[in-house]
Each structure stands twice: as C-alpha cells, then as structure tokens.
Amino acid sequence: MGGDAGVHTIDTDEELQRMADLHLPGYSMAKRRSEEEEEQAPVVEASPFLCASTRRIVLISPYPNLLHELIRDLSADCYDLMVFHRVDDFVLHNLQADLYLLDGGAANVLGSDPGFRTFIADPAKRKRSIAIKSQRGPAAYGGKAARQAAEAWGLTSAAPHEMLDRVGQWLLREPAEAGDGDAGLLGFKNLVIDTKRMTVFRSGDRIDLTKTEYELLLHFIQAEGAVLTREHMMEDIWGAAFFGNSNVVDVHVKSLRRKLGDSAVSPSYIETVRGVGYRLAD
C-alpha cells in the first residue's frame, strides 16, 4: 500500500519536542518548569529508626504465638528480646538479662517444668522476674496451678496488655544487669551501690556513709527483704568478739536513715520489725 508514504515517523526526542510545540502550546515551558522544580526539590530519605540504648528481656513461654502482640510491642520499643520455650534451657541459665517474663498461664513453666525450681532459686533471677497473667477467653490456657506457683514464689504479675507499661516502669527503677564490665553494682529502688569503690548513690547523687553504715546498707540489700535481727547484724558487722549492747545497731541504722533521707514512720528503704530487727521496705 502507498499510505505509508504520508506517515511521519518520530525517531528522536527533539522531533517529539517540535511536534508537541505545534499542537500543545506552552508544552516546552511547562516541561522545563517541571524539570527545574524536580531538580530543586530536596531529596527526602526515610531515616531508619535507631535504638540509642537497649535492655535485654527474656520471655519464657511454650506458647509464644499467643503472646505475639506483646513480643511485637517489646521489640518495637527497642528492647533486646529473646524468647525461650523452656525454663530449663541450658543457654538460658547462663544468660544475663535485665528482666525475665515468665508465662504465668502455662503450668509447665511455673511449677511442673523440672528446671523452674533451679531457675527461680537464683535470687538474682527471681528478683528480675515478672509473671504474665493467664490469658482469658477463647485463647485461655494454664490454670489454678500456674497462678498458685506464681503466688508461692512472690512473683509480680501483669496481664499481657499491661506488660509493656509494667516493663518500662520496672526498668526505670532498676539498674541494668551487671555484665563483666559492670560487676559490683547492686540496686534497690533509686539506690545504687558500687561495691568495688564502696560508694552509694541515690538518684545519681553520691551519699557519704561511714564504713559501718555502708556495711549495714549492703547487708539489707543482699538479704533481699529478709528480716535481719540485731544479733545477726552485730555478729556479721562488729564480729563475734564484740560485747557491746545491741542498741548500737539502732544508733547506726538511725544515722543511715538520716543520710538516705528515710523515715522510720513511713520508710522507703529500711523498715523496723518490732522486737526483732530490720528489713528492706517494700
């Protein structure tokens, strides 16, 4: 056919530009303006979200799929989260963590798991453990035995939807778990004791204590809430050969309280157990 002779083929961008100028007035100006604006527009790149610091949390549950929302939220909040299915895992017993979340809805975690007693008998781990309350509704599991086990060991409990706030509050109060580089740090509420340097800090401010006051406070914290009798403290701190009156303990405790800003009537740190001795306040 001879119709192809009248067809004009556009082979280059320049020819396309001339054709557009003929049929679309102003096309070239609009195109140049668009290209200039594109060149001048700032390049916005999505910055990755970086965690400036993190705390390690271990979650122990045979059914982590039922806690997927909690796992997601903890990870999103920059916690270094590790999940174990069994509490008697060898790696778990040799792992340092800032906080342990125990699935309180699983009877084979709190009670029947053979490794649970070994785990919870470690004062450092028990102090840093929170039980996750049993699930309700269609996803319910566990039961009375698990709840009784958590209560028997005095574990703090929180529902899964409350756990994120509870974890944040707990980690604000407690110092980070001491690793190899931080060995010798003990904490209670807003008190931190550096046992290497024999120094005490309250909310970051150093408190000057005598050697006896320091040893008293150290004894209270290491006892983890157990009642210490005056006789026990006299023997441990002053020695078996000391024949002084037990009132000497009261004198030094009074001085220690004063330096800590504590009150005997409404104690924050040291509570009096009448007729027996003293213990850490709840």
pLDDT of amino acid 182 = 45
Domain regions of the chain by residue span: 56-173, 180-280
Judge contact between 72 and 97, C-beta under 8 A. no
pLDDT tens, residue by residue, 179-216: 444 456 777 887 878 787 788 888 777 889 998 999 99
Residue 198 has phi, psi (to 5 degrees) of 55, 50
pLDDT tens, residue by residue, 16-61: 556 555 555 554 555 555 555 555 555 544 444 455 456 888 888 8
Within 10 angstroms of residue 143's Cβ, the number of other Cβ atoms is: 12
Q: Among 3.40.50.970, 3.90.1150.10, 1.10.10.10, 2.102.10.10, what is the CATH number of 180-280?
A: 1.10.10.10
Please tell me the number of Cα atoms within 13 Å of 45 on its side-chain side: 3
The CATH architecture one would assign to domain 56-173 is 3-Layer(aba) Sandwich (3.40)
Residue 158 pLDDT grade (very low, low, confident, very high; cuts 50, 70, 90): confident
